[in-house]
Amino acid sequence: MTLEEIYYIGQTVAVVAILGSLGAIWVQLRKDHALARADAQRELLADLNTIYNYLANNPDAVDAIRACILDFDGAPYQAQVKFGYWVHRSINLAQQAHHLREDELIDQEIYQSALGVAVAYLNTPGGRQHWQTIRLVYDSKIRAVLDEAQSSTEDGPKIWDIYPFWAPDAKELPAADEAVQAAKQGESA
């Protein structure tokens, strides 16, 4: 075996070793991405839970938020503050989910859940009033997503169809919302 043959064998071994190293790096990157994805999803789900923990820790917030869902502009200042916190938190989580989804760190179902929470509250009479005031605070991407989601669900179910505890009293119901009136009468029977 000549020196030249040994050189070529060494080069071949080096190329195979480099390709093997690149393969190992690729496998490790995929594992790291999977771990980052799992962490991001777990963190976002835990953060979504804080929205509901807020109600458990602030029982007076339920009535305040309920009043603002119907008419933000006509609600008392203290109620507006509580509702504002609630909506701001849900929009921030939707924004976080949007960016995580762009980076492929969460799946579509979790993204839709986070977005759905924000849209559900913004798609109420009071939520629409409040959104017009605060929308410029958020980045253009989430504004576009929330605006589109609101317009596509305008005729969809009301928040009180999904969460009956937000249902307004019969005297507060808009006359056109007969389905909610019937549901409220059915509950009291």
pLDDT at 184 over 70: no
Confidence of residue 157 (pLDDT cuts 50, 70, 90): low
156: left (phi over 0), alpha (psi -120 to 50) or beta: beta
Per-residue model confidence (pLDDT) at position 173:
43
Confidence of residue 65 (pLDDT cuts 50, 70, 90): confident
Domain residue limits, the chain: 30-175
For all residues of the chain together, what is the average pLDDT? 78
pLDDT tens sequence across 67-116: 888 889 988 998 899 888 888 888 888 888 888 888 887 788 888 888 88
pTM reported for the whole predicted model: 0.68
pLDDT tens sequence across 21-37: 888 888 888 777 777 77
Confidence of residue 186 (pLDDT cuts 50, 70, 90): low
